[in-house]
Amino acid sequence: MIISGNNPAHVQQAAEALCAGELLGLPTETVYGLAADASNENAVAKIFKAKGRPSNHPLIVHVGSTEELAHFVSEVPVFAKQLMAQFWPGPLTLILPRREGQAAAAAGGQNSVGVRCPSHPMALAVLKACAAKGVWGVAAPSANLFGRVSPTSALHVQSEFGDSLLILDGGECDVGIESTIVDCTRGVPVLLRPGQISRTHIEQACGLALANPDALNTEAPRASGTLESHYAPTAKVRLMSAAEWRRALEALGPHTQNLALWSFEKPSQELMGAGLYWRAMPKEASQAAHDLFSVLRNFDARGVRTIWIEVPPDTPEWEGVRDRIQRAAA
């Protein structure tokens, strides 16, 4: 059931559901989350079951402010505090040492836990209402079946889980891809998942260079959304340069069927077969991130069998989009 996040009574209803151990479709600025009380192991188990997600694949705990951190983490390095000061509330997840006895199920059994403070006003309102009832944070992976395309609207969530799930409608997500994840457990910041906040922004904020995960002697913690194959639509995704998709369309000629193309430039009229669906890829990385999952869902809804995506620029601001597309194509 979808309820409006603009109604304070509905925000309270959403918080009460979480405090009662139920699941909630929660809007954030990145994507919609499938939320549950992070300290309630039975509630967290419902997330894993609903998504079909392995229970050792950790979830991100969302808090309403830095004040709630102490309930979940045992230590916050100086550089992590600098990142929080610069980017919270916002689309940045920090992996920190987990407080013993807290959020073990949400952390996938690890000694570390991913935490972030979202900037979406309705998410913050729900988290504030939960904290007032003694629920200090919610675990909330993307509200979709495991490995599939993340949802950026309430209707996307409903299409995944049906009317039985309570969903707070907060409109379309502003960012459109999941948060940047930085590991803060090994003495230096390590980028585990790129997002809207780029590696350049992170390094400038904390004054430290991001370490290569493979260059350190200690093993990286498991983190959400870092499997090789992820964010995948039903259709097969293929990454192609502009020259490659043009040559491929020329070879197909008028016989193009059940094919979608997301590219910077529209194919010429001669290459636009009746069975080709084309969408323009925005030239701004932030807008492309906003559109990405909605575009993939739209192509799937049209029943295409193959999606060709033009390779984005190899620049820091496009790293998050490239990461999601590469995993969708894996």
85: number of Cβ within 10 Å? 11
Q: What is the pTM of this model?
A: 0.93
User: Hunting for tokens 């009574």 — which residue is that?
Assistant: 9
Is there a contact between 282 and 288 (Cβ–Cβ < 8 Å)?
A: yes
Q: Which among 33, 20, 23, 97 has a CA at the least distance from the CA of 59?
A: 33
Q: What is the pLDDT, as a whole number, of residue 288? A: 98
Q: Is the pLDDT of residue 238 over 90?
A: yes
Q: What is the pLDDT, as a whole number, of residue 227? A: 66
User: If you average pLDDT over residues 169-184, what whole number do you get?
Assistant: 97
Q: What is the pLDDT, as a whole number, of residue 259? A: 95
How much is the mean pLDDT over the chain? 93
Q: What is the pLDDT, as a whole number, of residue 188? A: 92
Q: Find the helix packing angle between 319-329 and 285-301, rounded to 10°.
A: 20
User: If you average pLDDT over residues 9-34, what whole number do you get?
Assistant: 98
User: If you average pLDDT over residues 113-135, what whole number do you get?
Assistant: 97
User: If you average pLDDT over residues 275-291, what whole number do you get?
Assistant: 96
Structure tokens at 246: 């043009």
pLDDT digits (tens, 9 = 90+) for 59-107: 999 999 999 999 999 999 999 999 999 999 999 999 999 999 999 999 9
Round to whole Å and give the CA distance between 21 and 105: 14
Q: What is the pLDDT, as a whole number, of residue 213? A: 77
Q: Is the pLDDT of residue 225 over 70?
A: no
Q: What is the pLDDT, as a whole number, of residue 214? A: 72
Q: Which among 157, 131, 174, 130 has a CA at the least distance from the CA of 3?
A: 157
Q: What is the pLDDT, as a whole number, of residue 212? A: 79
Over pLDDT 90: what percentage of the chain?
85
pLDDT range class, residue 234, cuts 50, 70, 90? very high
User: If you average pLDDT over residues 310-323, what whole number do you get?
Assistant: 95
Q: Is the pLDDT of residue 50 over 90?
A: yes
In the chain, the domains with their CATH numbers are: 2-215 (3.90.870.10), 236-329 (3.40.50.11030)
Q: What is the pLDDT, as a whole number, of residue 83? A: 98
Cβ neighbours for 6, distance < 8 A, ≥ 6 positions apart: none
pLDDT range class, residue 269, cuts 50, 70, 90? confident
Structure tokens at 173: 């997500």
